[in-house]
């Protein structure tokens, strides 16, 4: 069996031919094999056959070209990370979600009040208020919508009961008996919140994540949070989205995620980002960079070793990537006595 695992003694070149320009990395494709060796070592990659190794090397080489292109097109920074040996199709299948097509802002939704918009502060970051748990990793399962919903419930629990608890995503993955969602193939955040209403949400430690659908084993003795209601919000404009965020706390939202799997830092200003949503995330705040560019602060579910310690910034004020236009949701959490 052919198994590739690069060890440090064989790693003679470490980014020697990388070009650095204005804090960005532009990779020399002629040195792709050396970069690939670095990549294998850093991320502990193992390829079982020579054919698999060669195939991943070619995918990696193509991704280096795309990273270089993205660094030219964007002010944000892109680079090699743990996803650099995946095709776009493979990445979409395992890290993004399917949302059944619906018309924008249809169905029963709570409308954002004008005073919520007026009361929204100039900047906001719920991490500073202790309403956001650590960044998690959904693994090779299209369950981002669950991480989005659970992130909202965690924030509501912290806001209402002054107690930040990491809650179980696996519970939602296993216990959807009516199959309202599609497990590792996508679903709706509001459905997840409604599911947690049936008996409550258990802790992460008591029901750990496995990145695959299993048998429901929720234990009532492990319930940490009681949910009273699942609310869908109408946030067709960024002004309304900011008002809802300021009023409720961290929100479960959907947006379209282009080929940003290589994102590392900076504010994203998309070029083509008008497709329907394909990713569920947690909106935790917004701010302004020196020079006046406003941005959203978004918690992702691809691990803390992606992006800005698991987060990314998306330019605010231009309604990029259909943010808030389709699916925005929040839980109503029971106050403990």
Residues noted as catalytic: 144, 279, 300
Distance of alpha carbon 55 from alpha carbon 10, whole angstroms: 21
Instruction: Give the side-chain half-sphere CA count within 13 A for 123.
Output: 10
Instruction: Give the side-chain half-sphere CA count within 13 A for 211.
Output: 11
Task: Show the tokens assigned to 273.
Answer: 């980002």
**Residue among 333, 270, 257 at smallest CA distance from 301:** 257
| DSSP of 93-128 | HHHS-------TT-SS-EEPPHHHHHH--S-EETTT
Give the three-state DSSP class for 156: helix
Q: Is the CB of residue 297 less than 8 Å from the CB of residue 286?
A: yes
Give the largest CA-CA distance in the chain: 66
CA triplet 18, 42, 68: central angle to 5 degrees?
30
Close Cβ partners of 33 (under 8 Å, ≥ 6 residues apart):
57
The residues facing 4 across adjacent strands are 47
């Amino acid at each position: 069996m052919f198994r590739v695992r690069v060890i440090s003694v064989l790693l003679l070149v470490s980014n020697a031919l990388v070009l650095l320009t204005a804090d960005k990395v532009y990779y020399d494709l002629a040195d792709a094999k050396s970069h690939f060796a670095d990549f294998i070592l850093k991320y502990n990659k193992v390829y079982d056959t020579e054919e698999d190794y060669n195939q991943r090397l070619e995918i990696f080489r193509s991704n280096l070209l795309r990273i270089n292109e993205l660094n030219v097109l964007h002010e944000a920074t892109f680079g090699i990370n743990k996803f650099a040996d995946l095709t776009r199709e493979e990445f979409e299948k395992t890290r993004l979600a399917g949302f059944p097509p619906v018309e924008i802002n249809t169905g029963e939704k709570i409308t954002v009040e004008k005073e919520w918009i007026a009361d929204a502060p100039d900047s906001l970051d719920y991490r500073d208020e202790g309403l956001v748990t650590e960044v998690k990793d959904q693994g090779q399962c299209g369950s981002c919508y669950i991480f989005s919903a659970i992130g909202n419930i965690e924030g509501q629990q912290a806001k209402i009961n002054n107690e930040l608890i990491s809650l179980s995503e696996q519970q939602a993955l296993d216990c959807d008996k009516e199959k309202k969602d599609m497990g590792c193939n996508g679903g709706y955040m509001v459905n997840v919140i409604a599911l947690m209403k049936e008996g409550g949400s258990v802790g992460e430690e008591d029901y750990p994540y496995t990145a695959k659908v299993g048998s429901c084993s929720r234990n009532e003795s492990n319930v940490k949070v009681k949910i009273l209601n699942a609310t869908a919000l109408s946030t067709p404009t960024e002004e309304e989205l900011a008002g809802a965020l300021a009023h409720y706390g961290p929100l479960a939202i959907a947006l379209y995620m282009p080929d940003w799997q290589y994102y590392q830092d900076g504010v994203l200003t998309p070029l083509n980002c008008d497709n329907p949503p394909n990713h569920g995330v947690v909106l935790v705040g917004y701010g302004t960079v020196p020079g006046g560019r406003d941005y959203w602060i978004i918690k992702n579910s691809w691990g803390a070793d992606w992006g800005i310690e698991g987060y990314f910034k998306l330019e605010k004020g231009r309604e990029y990537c259909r943010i808030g236009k389709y699916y925005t949701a929040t839980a109503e959490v029971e106050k403990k006595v």
